[in-house]
Amino acid sequence: KGARKAKSKFGSALETFSYVQFVMYKKENRSLHLVSQCDLLKTCKTLTTNLDKLAIGLKVVELVDKISHDEERNTKMFKLILEVFDALEKQTENLQNIFCNFEVKLIELLGYQLSFDRCGICKKNIFELDNSSLTIVFDSSKGSPICSNCRNSAIYPVNLSVQNCKILDKF
């Protein structure tokens, strides 16, 4: 209540991309709560001064907002977010790779493990089977590539180069 006003005693501590520790008094029947103390632990200054970093950071915040529930504790997701913001602070190029890596790790945290090294149907190693082929079919319904023997069984096929599949497997 009043924490984000211009004359607030908390200043810019409650801005997006600020890592803070605060004391909040919650009232059960209200959606507006009282913040009595706020300590700024870390701020990500380059995320707000670089447009590309800001865009990636906001995509992370928006995605987490859409998939998480209010007041749900998820320490692993919180640590992942801190890692992403630290990486964005340090990195100067290939920022989209940070976001892709975040998405893959987030999917894994949510219990949906993507596999890029095994066929989603017969479970054989995709790289051993398809070394001669330049493309691999990825089936999003299975969350994995499909070997050439099982290709006709793919429900939502997307062509993926062998090189890209190997890169995604390293993620």
| Lowest-pLDDT range of 4-13, 84-93, 145-154 | 4-13
Is the pLDDT confidence value at 12 over 80? no
When pLDDT is cut at 50, 70 and 90, the band that residue 163 belongs to is confident
**Quick one: tokens of 20?**
């803070």
Q: What is the mean pLDDT of residues 12-32?
A: 82
Q: How far is CA 97 from CA 91, 156, 167, in A?
A: 10, 24, 11
pLDDT (tens digit, 9 = 90+) per residue, 118-133? 888 888 888 776 555 6
When pLDDT is cut at 50, 70 and 90, the band that residue 112 belongs to is confident
Q: What is the mean pLDDT of residues 127-151?
A: 75
Q: Which residues pair with 167 in a beta bridge?
A: none
* pTM score: 0.68
pLDDT (tens digit, 9 = 90+) per residue, 39-74? 888 888 888 889 999 999 999 999 999 999 887 889
